[in-house]
């Protein structure tokens, strides 16, 4: 199956546009104007270099879609199967490109998925009804089989970074290597594997590897720069990996120990595994995203690690590496088959150490599928860089 993977085709995007048209009609709108780059890509297949120049895709309830782009993107929009492509010359222009789009559309009841506050008065002047609900993002919550196939494949390349890191990391550290050296080794391996398998079929679509490697006291920073720091025996080392194929994201991550695992480290790592498992168990169709977060966090608190919690258990993934819905306080979204989430129990002890693992989760009717396999295939007592 994976060898036959291809970027999502025109038929997929047309199907997603038709669904969005029906949503617009059901909400009494003339159409939807998609401005978020990931929403535009979802409904058209148009991937472009993000910059200050706005791109918009108008989906009328009746009529053909209209792609609005800066003139310099004209050639890049060819071959999408869209017959109505309109270009503006430059940004910011005498008329802001968004206001130009509204003039071109000429309808009075629209939804915009994104709007800078500074433009709100001008937009309201041009419309009788402005709906700022992101209908496309809500539709994107539940992935189609074609999207899930790309997520599954992307996860294998996130895993490949970790597999290589586990295989060569001890030697790199023993030779005086740094976080940067570990990152370079894993990135080179995973990216080469990704390009070797998929470069020809997916050329022109987003595809790549992102990663972080933090060790020792710096592992207590959930985010941070990767430094020329040499990991030391007894320290934790966190590696968090993201991979994308055809624009679709997956993640995998692990905490490794440089040298032997101490009883305290093993206890924390087991609590994180139990937190991961609690999140998986809570992701049943019909349950709530915020409740899944509570279930996972309660495990860490019960282990005496509540003060070391710095973030939610997870987030949605798809065309954006981080997207709604959120496994976090404040998101009561009901879980449904086809949703994709990260699972990221984290324990951070400032000045001492940090721990985090990451899995990709796909909700199904039968339970949670986990396409990132590194953690399942590498039990806690094997997560060692034996320097």
**107 shares its domain with 179:** no
Mean pLDDT for the stretch of residues 271-275 = 98
Residue 306: CB atoms within 10 A of its CB come to: 12
346-349 and 340-343 beta bridge pairing = unpaired
Across the chain, mean pLDDT equals: 97
* pLDDT value at 2 more than 70: no
**220 shares its domain with 104:** no
CB neighbours of 154 closer than 8 A, spacing ≥ 6? Answer: 243, 244, 245, 248, 249, 250
pLDDT, one tens digit per residue, over 350-377 is 999 999 999 999 999 999 999 999 999 9
Task: Look up residue 141 and give its two tokens.
Answer: 């919550």
**128 shares its domain with 199:** no
Q: How confident is the model at residue 1 (pLDDT cuts 50, 70, 90)?
A: very low
**277 shares its domain with 198:** yes
**110 shares its domain with 189:** no
**136 shares its domain with 150:** no
Q: Which residues in 156-193 are b (16+ Cβ under 10 Å) and which e? A: bbbbbbbbbbbebbbebbeeebbbebbbbbbbebbbeb
Among 140, 172, 194, give the residue marking a domain's end.
Answer: 140
Looking at residue 83, its pLDDT comes to 94
**115 shares its domain with 160:** no
pLDDT, one tens digit per residue, over 107-148 is 899 999 999 999 999 999 999 999 999 999 999 999 999 999
SS3 for 240? strand
**186 shares its domain with 37:** no
The CATH number for 123's domain is: 3.40.350.10
pLDDT, one tens digit per residue, over 299-352 is 999 999 999 999 999 999 999 999 999 999 999 999 999 999 999 999 999 999
Range 73-81 contact pairs with CB under 8 angstroms and sequence separation of 24 or more: 73/48, 76/46, 76/48, 77/46, 80/10, 80/13, 80/44, 80/45, 80/46, 81/10, 81/13, 81/14
**94 shares its domain with 211:** no
Q: How confident is the model at residue 224 (pLDDT cuts 50, 70, 90)?
A: confident
**151 shares its domain with 134:** no
Percent of the chain with pLDDT over 90: 97
Mean pLDDT for the stretch of residues 97-105 = 98
pLDDT, one tens digit per residue, over 206-215 is 999 999 999 9
**227 shares its domain with 350:** yes
Among 111, 140, 169, give the residue marking a domain's end.
Answer: 140
Among 140, 160, 175, give the residue marking a domain's end.
Answer: 140
Quote the number of domains for the chain.
2
pLDDT, one tens digit per residue, over 18-68 is 999 999 999 999 999 999 999 999 999 999 999 999 999 999 999 999 999
* pLDDT value at 94 more than 80: yes
User: What gap in Å lies between CA 2 and CA 51, rounded to an integer?
Assistant: 33
Q: What domain range is 101 assigned to?
A: 2-140
The CATH number for 376's domain is: 3.90.230.10
* pLDDT value at 292 more than 90: yes
């Amino acid at each position: 199956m994976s060898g036959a993977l291809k970027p999502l085709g025109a038929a997929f995007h047309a199907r997603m546009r038709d669904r969005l048209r029906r949503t617009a009609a059901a909400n009494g709108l003339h159409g939807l104007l998609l401005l978020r780059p990931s929403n535009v890509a979802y409904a058209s297949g148009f991937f472009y270099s993000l910059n200050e120049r706005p791109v918009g895709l108008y989906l009328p309830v009746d009529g053909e879609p209209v792609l609005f782009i800066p003139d310099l993107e004209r050639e890049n929009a060819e071959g999408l199967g869209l017959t109505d492509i309109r270009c503006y010359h430059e940004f910011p222009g005498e008329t802001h490109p968004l206001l130009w789009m509204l003039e071109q559309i000429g309808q009075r009841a629209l939804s915009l998925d994104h709007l800078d506050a500074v433009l709100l008065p001008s937009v309201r002047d041009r419309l009788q009804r402005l709906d700022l609900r992101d209908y496309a993002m809500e539709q994107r919550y539940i992935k189609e089989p074609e999207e899930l196939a790309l997520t599954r494949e992307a996860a294998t390349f996130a895993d490949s970074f970790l597999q290589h890191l586990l295989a060569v990391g001890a030697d790199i550290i023993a030779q005086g290597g740094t976080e940067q050296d570990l990152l370079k080794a894993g990135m080179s391996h995973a990216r080469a594997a990704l390009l070797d398998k998929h470069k020809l079929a997916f050329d022109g679509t987003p595809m790549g590897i992102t990663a972080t490697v933090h060790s020792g006291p710096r592992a207590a920073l959930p985010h941070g720069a990767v430094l020329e720091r040499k990991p030391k025996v007894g320290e934790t080392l966190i590696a968090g990996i993201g991979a994308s194929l055809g624009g679709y994201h997956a993640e995998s991550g692990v905490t490794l120990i440089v040298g032997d695992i101490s009883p305290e480290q093993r206890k924390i790592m087991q609590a994180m595994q139990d937190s991961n498992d609690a999140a998986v168990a809570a992701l049943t169709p019909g349950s709530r995203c915020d409740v899944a977060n509570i279930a996972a966090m309660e495990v860490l608190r019960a282990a005496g690690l509540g003060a070391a919690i710095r973030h939610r258990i997870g987030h949605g993934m798809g065309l954006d590496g981080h997207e709604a819905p959120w496994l976090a306080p404040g998101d009561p979204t009901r879980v449904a088959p086809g949703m994709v989430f990260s699972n990221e129990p984290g324990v951070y002890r400032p000045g001492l150490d940090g721990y985090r693992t990451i899995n990709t989760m796909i909700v199904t009717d039968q339970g949670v599928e986990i396409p990132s396999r590194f953690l399942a295939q590498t039990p806690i007592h094997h997560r060692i860089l034996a320097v």
